[in-house]
Structure 1
Amino acid sequence: MSKESELSRRKFLQLAGLGGAALCLGIFPSLSAAKVILPETAFAGSVEMNSWIIINTSGKITLVDHRAEMGQGSYHSVPQIIAEELEVDLSQIEVIFAQGSTKYGSQITGGSSTIRASYKNLLKLSATAREMLRQAAANSWKVPVNECVARSGNIVHEKSGRKMHYGELVLAASQLPAPEKVTLKQRSEYKIIGKPLKRIDTPLKTNGAAVFGLDKRLPGMMFASVERNPRLRGKVTSFDDTAARKIKGVRDVIKISMKVYDTQREGVAVIADNSWAALQGRKALKVVWDDSGFEHISTKKVYEKHHELLMSEEGLPAKEQGAVNVEAGANRKKIDSVYHTPYQSHLAMEPINCIAHYKKDKIEIWGPIQAPDWIQKDIAKEFSMDPKNVVVNMTFLGGGFGRKAFTDYPNEAVAISKKINAPVQVIWSREDDAVQGPFRPGVSYRGESIIENGKLTDLKFRMVGQNIKHWSDKKRGIANENTTEGFMEPYFKSIKNIKFSDIPFETPVPVLWWRSVYASTNGFAYESFMDEIAHQMNMDPLEFRRIHMDNERTRKLIDRLKEVSGWKNNAQDKGYGIAITECFDSTVGQVVKVSKRKEGGVKIDKVWAVIDCGWYVNPDIIEAQVEGSILMALGAATMDAQTFTDGIADKANFHSYKLPRIYDIPPLEVHIMENKEDAGGVGEPGLPPFAPALANAVFDLTGKRIRTLPFDLLKV
């Protein structure tokens, strides 16, 4: 080993807090296959790895988790995978968050990708460590390796009764080459994976040990609260900070600019010794804004324009098969419906916040960061810094939903730190979080279909709404790549002629991913329309889907959904609705049962959900994620939406932006399909089918078709 490599390895171990010696393994994703390598190999060949398992001489096992923990369970699920093949107890694994770096591959905690993108590598990584430890023990005892068994953090030679814990073997194991191939367990052999184990982060979050962004403190840190233009694109004409500077603890008031995509959002930052002074100083500011030069939108006009475009424009082709003809004629019955879905704020329980410390040769960031590698890259570019000198540290996130993967709030924190020459924590109020965006785009749809001689022959969908990618890469003339997201792929086999298109539409409102992205809006339109078609064909909606999804895996899910929900059993005075959507390699079907309230309106009696996510880790976490998705969908379908008047977001806090309370939550039942398929996502796929299933249930009960969200259950 070269001196340079040795120093690099030592530095790594010191940074990981492991002392001088350890067995360290990582995954390098080559073009041909993922390869497990030792740090010596990595440092000598300038190869960077995207996962680490580290075992030191005391037997302590450290997992460097390259993804964020924002409630979805990666902090627990990844160690649960590692513990299985490494043959250790879950309690033996300590988790630390990785810093933002391209060396880990993608670090974005989004697209429900943490497990499905990495579980095979994680299994291989931990099995490789196990086999190296077994070999080290076999060499020490001079016995065949097949006589050595890994068990609870020890290697045992059963014939002689000898035993060594992993810490005693790491030095010898680290000198061995990592085996090219290892044998992984069959699912039937799992002891830990697939079990509803209690989450290891729960105690941290209940005893106060977990560090969220707002908990982090640095020596000499200042606090900042920023008054930003409520119309998002306006400029600061002038400001009066006389009253603000009189607030005890306020140190300075400065004009600041935050990058939002390729625009600059101006504001006035109040710098103080503590967060209370910063917030009070901001309230005392008087700012004059220049709001000229851009459209001041209103929600009513947005949807009027949507409707106009749906009636007049064909849009950009997204996906098409056959020769679609939606003209009515002899024996050709046409259905033509329009659906509207609203803008949404993200409103995670932990509002946006970020700490930054700008130095001449280094920038360091701490906070609830959902995509640390993206932040590292963006900050390096914007502040002309070598990416290696931009350090992004993740804390726990109090929810994210896509919002905390964006680059604006770290960018603003760095800009303020640079101006005041000190570390600073920028805190957003709940109102800032609600009205400043970016938002989930409001999207409208037109569905057209032809039923000819009792058969669905032609299906056409047009969508109109802001394309998130138009903000990030500015590509025009290309259909939204997510136009068919949420639509069940098996439909393409049973329906001869299908066409999807996207009608471009833009406003000054910045838009961003929101849990399940476009599937959250697509699913409502597409599965509501399929329900309309089923009723026009005089078919049971569940059987309609079963017949039109000629796919064994999907049919099994439908059969399970029918079984657990008792579909249409005891249906007197009850309404049943079904919807099935797929996104991020998982399919979720839901049945909603509703009934009439004596006081008027409709109440939800129960929701059944069946998820097919293939290979999975922890059923309790899956159940929690599906339940959380349903509750978020319930709010978006029946309570909350962001609206705009004269260019300003109307709803700034929970008094106006309603979210489900505990008394709004119906009984929920979640079931997981068992199969040998690859892992799919879990954190998001449970959201899209709820709104259409609910709307379809309302129609089944009342005959009223819901085509615009949100709607009030008490007024149906």
Structure 2
Amino acid sequence: MKNPPGSISRRNFLRISGMTGASLTIGFLLPAAAKDIPAILTAGEALEQGIELSAWVSIDKTGLVTIMCHRAEMGQGAFQAIPQIVAEELEVEFEKINVMFAAGQTRYGSQITGGSSTVRGGYQNMLRAGATAREMLITAAANSWKVKPEECYAEKGKVFHRSSGKSLGYGELVEPASKLKLEKPVTLKQRKDYKLIGKPVKRLDTSPKSNGKAIFGIDFRVKGLLYASVERSPYFHGKIKSIDDKKAKAIKGVKHIVKVEMPVFAGTRHGVAVVADSIYTAMKARKALVIEWDNEGFEKVSTELLYNRMRADVQKTGLTQKAQGDPTRVIGKDDKKITAVYETPYESHSAMEPLNCTAHYTAEKIEVWGPIQGPDWVQGDLADKFKMPKEKVIVNMTFLGGGFGRKAFLDYTYEAVALSKAIGGPVQIVWTREDDMTQGPFRPGGVYGCSASLSDGRLQALEIKMAAQNMDHQWVPVPDKADYNRNTMEGWLEPYLEQLSHYRFADIPTESPIPVMWWRSVYSSTNVFAFESFWDELSVAAGKDPLAMRREHISQEKERYHKLFDAIAALSGWDKRGKNEGWGIAVSECFGSIVGEVVKVSARPGGGVKVDKVFAVMDCGWYVNPDIIRAQIEGSIIMAYGAAAVHATHFADGKAVERNFHQYAMPRIMDTPEIIVQVMDNDEKPGGVGEPSLPPFAPALCNAIFDLTGKRIRKLPMDLTAI
């Protein structure tokens, strides 16, 4: 990809990183045991030991600081958070930093951008890298002045001697610093001393994304590049019977027409690729193909069939993930037991930038470029499938125009490499919006059966069962059907169980040929609708305020949760709710963060319900940039709004029905309510930010609708105009 003006290319960065006198380069030697702390080394030490360094920060003789971003940037802020963390301890002006994406390589550890894990999974190593570079520069300056390092300090890319006022720029110190070895661990700053972390520092990627200099996968070009559009079976398991490509071949600019296959979990998706000198020509010629598909030998499901199956499944005993006591017996003997069934829809990812990948296969190496969420996964997958040594598979990340989990999958990168191999040159495959929406994989729909009994206004026993496709069962042709879904409780507040003697969470893996996979917040996005809607129903049955009901079921010793309850009550004015208004609350915990949301609704003059305001409080512990957090909360809520009240993916005759945005509508600006956000300050470990705010919205909205109208919404998506 192209780099901003004044920056260096990855090739030159790696070259100077191996030259001990040309730069000070700090990286990690990952330990054999995952629990051990990575060792920090300079490029010189790595060279001496014959170690391939995972370089995180490098400072050259001009003082330019280059920081590697080992995770994908799809809007969630990794490209900002990683350098902001490193720069805090490095004591360098943020505006003078150059950031580059790291190629997919196992030496960086996990590079998968998912589970809201970038900051919480690596912040300590990033802090240590910045602090190590700073201390080496301070030591080099102290040696030059023949003073003690304790007499010096670093600030704004320079080292100063306190008593004399002398200073040296980082660029002047890299050569002597690169030859040093620190004998003791560095001391990290205390939070009160932070200058960058916790501050709304302007994002480094805002300008290039605004002026067109940022390179997304769909923008990438390489010499000799051809373009491809692939006609794939409209059925999830269809195969090719025959191809009539005469008309397509006659179109000027068409170079190749090739059969392609791509693995989708344990199955194979079949298609016909048209390769041309432009993507427009490839798409035009693709429409001229006449293909007969073999659609026999697999089940052609519909939405009605799927949900009838899940409704039947949820009546079964299911596979237990976690249980205590005997909830079935306790609930069964209660003639006032509370039961409810909730349904959530299948959803498309529908990222702004459709799938695309550029690939060049040769006998010596494979190189790919694109919007990729898991570059290390792609490297391993391509090395395995094409029998190529890992070090010969180069995976280059670009910016992503959204991902939501879809661009962590391995199908589209394999397809591009297979086609490059077939035509003997570089090729870029671009999916159309119709490809993206109809081929999947999709977020799985689900049906949840909830039952409980109350005693003196308190929850006595609880059983929640989920009937849905188990994503893990798709990876092998014959899955272990006794293997329970380990995400059945995702989104649930664990402290609730400490005061509950009888409970059970279980799942029934529904059989379906539809490919399903991670969608923003994964199973939390559907689980929490059932969990928090049911809490509201229990509150009503107990005759209690919904927030008070939740408070009562978490011990006062769990101060973190009660502080969040206090914060969301104060932010929303929960205790001062007005008449003729609907108010709903929901709280969830996932990816290391706790989020509470309150939704306020009112009746539309012409009928239906209007969402007026959403109040959100996030406790993500130690955090980097509050502006990024607010943006992610707002984006999550709007995405949740769409899945709750605007769109869904349906199936008929084994095919997806919705093909583009005229059928799969998105929330419009006039639909979007005012969103008020608060980020909690505390000393907890960092949690995720990109996903945890999505799950609570739908139940909070439906609880607000009940508060206003008395109508309980148990099936999504709903039509707000018809309530």
Matched to 2:512, the amino acid is: T
The CA RMSD over aligned residues, in Å, is: 1.7
Q: Does 1:216 align with 2:225?
A: no
Offset, 1:14: 1.7
Q: How many residues align?
A: 707
Task: Classify 1:264/1:180 alpha carbon distance in 2 versus 1 (closer, same or farther; 3 Å).
Answer: farther
1:300-699 pair list within 5 angstroms: 300-311=304-315, 313-325=316-328, 333-472=336-475, 474-550=479-555, 551-699=558-706
Structure 1 residues 242 and 20, CA gap change in structure 2 (3 angstroms) = farther
Greater shift, 108-117 or 541-550, is seen at: 541-550
Give the structure 1 partner of residue 255 of structure 2. 251
Query: Counterpart amino acid of 1:55?
Result: I
**CA displacement at 1:451 relative to structure 2:** 1.0
Counterpart residue number, 1:4: none
SS at match of 1:664: coil
Q: Secondary structure at the match of 2:337?
A: strand
Amino acid at match of 1:522: N
Distance in 1 of aligned mates of 2:511 and 2:47? 48
Residue pair 1:51, 1:65 contacting (<8 A) in 2 also: no
Distance 1:380 1:122 in 2: 29
- Answer whether contact 1:589 1:609 (CA < 8 A) is retained: yes
Describe the SS at the equivalent of 2:574. coil
Counterpart in the other structure of 1:5: none
Query: Relative to 1, partners in 2 of residues 1:398 and 1:24: Cα closer, same or farther, differing over 3 Å?
Result: same
SS across alignment from 2:407: helix
For the Cα contact (< 8 Å) 1:13–1:20, is it kept in 2?
no
Shift of 1:250: 1.0
How many Å apart are 1:328 and its aligned residue? 5.2
- Matched residue type, 2:302: S
Amino acid in structure 2 at the alignment position of 1:151:
E
1:67 partnered with 2:71: yes
Residues 331 and 364 (structure 1), Cα distance of their counterparts in 2 relative to 1, 3 Å cut: closer
On the 8 A contact 2:383/2:389 being kept in 1, the answer is: yes
Aligned partner (choices 220, 233, 238) of residue 237 of structure 2: 233
What amino acid is aligned across from residue 84 of structure 2 in structure 1? Q
Partner Cα separation in structure 2 for residue 320 and residue 556 of structure 1: 28
Shift of 1:443: 1.2
* Residues 336 and 126 of structure 1: CA distance in aligned 2, closer, same or farther (over 3 Å): same
Which of 265, 271, 285 is the matching residue for 2:269?
265
- Counterpart secondary structure, 1:256: strand
Amino acid at match of 1:392: V
Give a deviation string over 1:265-289, Cα, whole Å, max 9, x none. Answer: 1101001000000000001111100
Q: Which amino acid aligns with 2:657?
A: D
Which amino acid is the alignment partner of residue 68 of structure 2?
A: V
Cα offsets for 1:351-385 (capped at 9, x unmatched): 00000000012100000011000000001111111
Higher mean displacement: 183-192 or 325-334: 325-334
Instruction: Give the drift of 1:455.
Output: 2.3
Q: Are the equivalent residues in 1 in contact too, given 2:216–2:371 (CA < 8 A)?
A: yes
Deviations 1:228-259 (A, max 9, x none): 00112100001111111122211121111111
In structure 2, what residue type is equivalent to 1:677?
E
Residue 472 of structure 1, CA deviation: 2.7
What TM-score does the superposition give when structure 2 sets the normalisation length?
0.96
Give the counterpart letter for 1:530 in structure 2: W
User: Which residue does the alignment assign to 1:242?
Assistant: 246
CA-to-partner distance for each residue in 1:103-128, whole Å, 9 max, x for gaps?
11000011000001111111111001
Give, in angstroms, the shift of residue 83 of structure 1: 1.2
CA distance in 1, matches of 2:225, 2:370: 14
Q: Structure 1: which amino acid aligns with 2:340?
A: S
Report the equivalent of 2:711. 704
Give the 3 Å change call, closer, same or farther, for CA 245–331 of structure 1 in structure 2: closer
Question: Is residue 13 from structure 1 mapped to residue 10 from structure 2 by the alignment?
Answer: no
| Cα distance in structure 2, aligned partners of 1:390 and 1:527 | 46
Residues 190, 26 of structure 1: CA spacing in aligned structure 2 closer, same or farther, 3 A cutoff? same
Maintained 8 Å contact 2:21/2:175 = no
Q: By how many angstroms is 1:322 displaced?
A: 2.2
1:544/1:510 Cα in 2 relative to 1: closer, same or farther (>3 Å)? same
Give the letter aligned to residue 225 of structure 1: S
Q: 1:179 to 1:612 in 2, by over 3 A?
A: farther
Instruction: Name the residue aligned to 1:143.
Output: 147
Query: In the TM superposition, what is the alpha-carbon distance from 1:181 to its structure 2 partner?
Result: 1.0
Contact 2:26-2:133 within 8 A present in 1 as well: yes
Residue identity matched to 1:318: Q
Greater displacement, 471-480 / 706-715? 471-480
Question: Distance between the aligned counterparts of 2:13 and 2:196, measured in 1?
Answer: 30
Which deviates more from structure 2 when the two are superposed, residues 317-326 or residues 166-175?
A: 317-326
Mapped to 2, the partners of 1:455 and 1:22 lie a distance apart of 64
Preserved contact between residue 128 and residue 179 of structure 1 (Cα < 8 Å): no
**Aligned residues of 1:13 and 1:21 also touching (Cα < 8 A):** no
Q: In the alignment, which residue of structure 2 is the partner of 1:106?
A: 110
Kept after mapping to 1: 8 A contact 2:16/2:22:
no
Instruction: Measure how far apart 1:38 and its partner are.
Output: 1.6
Q: 2: distance between equivalents of 1:44 and 1:555?
A: 53
Show CA shifts across 1:498-526 (max 9, x none). Answer: 10011121211111100000000001011
Cα distance in 2 for partners of 1:585, 1:210 equals 31
User: Does the aligned pair in 2 maintain the 1:590–1:610 contact within 8 Å?
Assistant: yes
Please point out which of 146, 149, 153 is paired with 2:157: 153
Instruction: Give ranges in structure 2 of 5+ residues lacking alignment.
Output: 1-9
The alignment status of 1:197 with 2:201, answered yes or no, reads yes
Letter in 1 for 2:686: A
Deviates most, 146-155 or 328-337: 328-337
Distance 1:594 1:81 in 2: 39
Between the aligned partners of 1:21 and 1:476, the Cα distance in structure 2 is 58
Q: CA deviation at 1:52?
A: 1.2
Superposition deviation, residue 27 in structure 1: 2.2
- Code of the aligned partner of 1:22: S
Give the distance between the partners of 1:662 and 1:699, measured in 2 at CA: 25
Q: Distance in 2 between matches of 1:124 and 1:479?
A: 39
Cα deviation digits, residues 179-201 of structure 1 (max 9, x gap): 44111111111111111111110
Please say if residues 326 and 450 of structure 1, whose CA atoms lie closer than 8 Å, have aligned partners that are also in contact.
Answer: no
* Structure 1 stretches lacking a partner, 5+ long: 1-8
Matched with 1:23 is: 24
2:552, 2:706 → 1: CA distance? Answer: 21
> Could you say what secondary structure the match of 1:333 adopts?
coil
Deviation track 1:538-589 (CA, whole Å, cap 9, x = no partner) reads 0100111111122210010001100010015242110100000011000000
* C-alpha displacement of 1:388: 0.7
Whole-Å separation in 2 of the counterparts to 1:19 and 1:424: 38
The residue aligned with 2:175 is 171
Tell me what 2:7 maps to. Answer: none
How far apart, CA to CA, are the structure 1 residues paired with 2:480 and 2:319?
13
Q: How far has the Cα of 1:452 moved from its partner? A: 2.4
**Separation of aligned partners in 2, 1:217 and 1:18:** 30
The residue identity in structure 2 corresponding to 1:194 is G
The CA distance in 1 between the partners of 2:665 and 2:389, in whole Å, is 44
Q: Which moved more, 1:36-45 or 1:98-107?
A: 36-45
